[in-house]
């Protein structure tokens, strides 16, 4: 039996903008952040995101659990537009106290130029925040 907290509909915001000015050279739709999670007690099994031009996943809620995370960073970005902006594959906001992500895999295939990032995952340094 699920607790009432787990039965609540999670508040998840997906950004899927499709204005003509955001189209890439191959007419793909582009977004800034793929998914942001604001609700508490959200569990996702097999979470896969890719190709947002900013952060891929941003987590704000408490007691989140992600079991298997697959993420491909965007292809057609520059150092200035992506790497220097410190965009991430998985970001747990600093005010989150409890979170778990198991088996995160974040990779890149930067096609147009070399892009360096400082890290793929950012999270608070707490015993109750686990990246396994």
Q: What is the pLDDT of residue 112?
A: 85
Q: What is the pLDDT of residue 29?
A: 58
Q: What is the pLDDT of residue 38?
A: 95
Q: What is the pLDDT of residue 31?
A: 80
Mean pLDDT of the chain: 83
pTM of the model: 0.79
Q: What is the pLDDT of residue 14?
A: 44
Tell me: pLDDT of 27 over 80: no
User: What DSSP string runs through the chain?
Assistant: ---HHHHSPP-EEE-----GGG--TT-----S-SEEE-SSS-EEEEEEEE--SS-SEEE-SSSEEEEEEEEE--SS--TTTTGGGT--SEEE-TT---EEEEEEEEE----SS----S-SEE----TTEEE-
Structure confidence at residue 3 as a pLDDT band (50, 70, 90): very low
Q: What is the pLDDT of residues 52-85, one digit of tens each?
A: 889 999 999 999 999 999 999 998 889 999 999 9
Tell me: pLDDT of 92 over 70: yes
């Amino acid at each position: 039996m699920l607790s009432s907290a787990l039965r609540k509909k999670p508040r998840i915001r997906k950004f899927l903008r499709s204005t003509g000015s955001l189209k890439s050279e191959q007419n793909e739709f582009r977004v800034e952040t793929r998914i942001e999670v604001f609700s508490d007690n959200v569990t996702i099994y097999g979470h896969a995101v890719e190709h947002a031009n900013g952060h891929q996943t941003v987590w704000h809620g408490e007691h989140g659990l992600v079991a298997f995370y697959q993420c491909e960073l965007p292809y057609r970005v520059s150092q200035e537009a992506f790497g220097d902006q410190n965009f991430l594959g998985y970001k747990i906001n600093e005010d989150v106290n409890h979170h778990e992500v198991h088996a995160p895999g974040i990779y890149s295939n930067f096609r147009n130029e070399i892009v360096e990032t400082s890290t793929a995952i950012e999270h608070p340094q707490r015993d109750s925040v686990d990246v396994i």
